[in-house]
Amino acid sequence: MNLEQARFNMIEQQIRPWDVLDAEVLELLTIVKREAFVPPAYRSMAFVDAEIPLPGGENMLQPKFEARILQELMIRKHEQVLEIGTGSGYQAALMAYRARAVTSVEIQPELVAMARANLVDYGIDNVDVELGDGICGWPAPDNKARGIFARQAYDVIVLSGSVPTMPQQLMQQLKVGGRMFVVTGEMPAMSAQVVTRMSDTAFNTVKRFETVIKPLRNAPQPSRFTF
């Protein structure tokens, strides 16, 4: 396989047509080599328009989806990012190139080991992959030892799986001006949304596109009680 031709085709035939037009995002897709984060058995699929299987029944998102997350969030160099659901570490690697630091939380030990190895092999040193369940929040690096789930701790939060309703605890961990990418809803109707914290008490939510992705484990479920 001609890797660079395949990468070019992925960008031009999958990602640009999905309204990813930010030049810096497109350039980053050529810098961070996606195939380095794909399990060896599926490396030939690194550039196809499909989700790629990962251990434990999880998967890498489609390349166009990963690129769209980057474009929607507009991460800046001084920002602290929290990712819920590390997978292979590829999305964390992309964000690491744009952020000050990334904390990525993964519930499956096998994926934690995979992501850490991938990131070390790629020479990325500003991502901290943590084993745990981050759906209800996560301590910021300066509060890690004390386990404090501080409010307004992160500039950017990314959920790599869907949740049935807005994750209120994570919203409270956004700084004012911070953004969160989240897919909400249940099969077969889900929406990708960007939540921006406007003030201590106000949030602005914008629906970006319809989609369907795997749910995050242990996501709080809405009440099913009826009279």
How far, in Å, CA of 135 to CA of 167, rounded?
7
Give the pLDDT score at 19. Answer: 96
Tens of pLDDT, residue by residue over 138-157, are 998 776 655 667 888 999 99
Residues in the chain: 227
Q: Are strands 80-84 and 101-106 parallel, antiparallel or unpaired?
A: parallel
Structure tokens at 62: 């489609």
Give the pLDDT score at 140. Answer: 83
Give the pLDDT score at 219. Answer: 85
DSSP-based three-state secondary structure for 54? coil
Name the superfamily (CATH) of residues 3-211: Vaccinia Virus protein VP39 (3.40.50.150)
Rounded (5°) CA angle 132-137-138: 60
Specify the pTM: 0.94
Q: Looking at per-residue confidence, does 78 or 222 come out higher?
A: 78
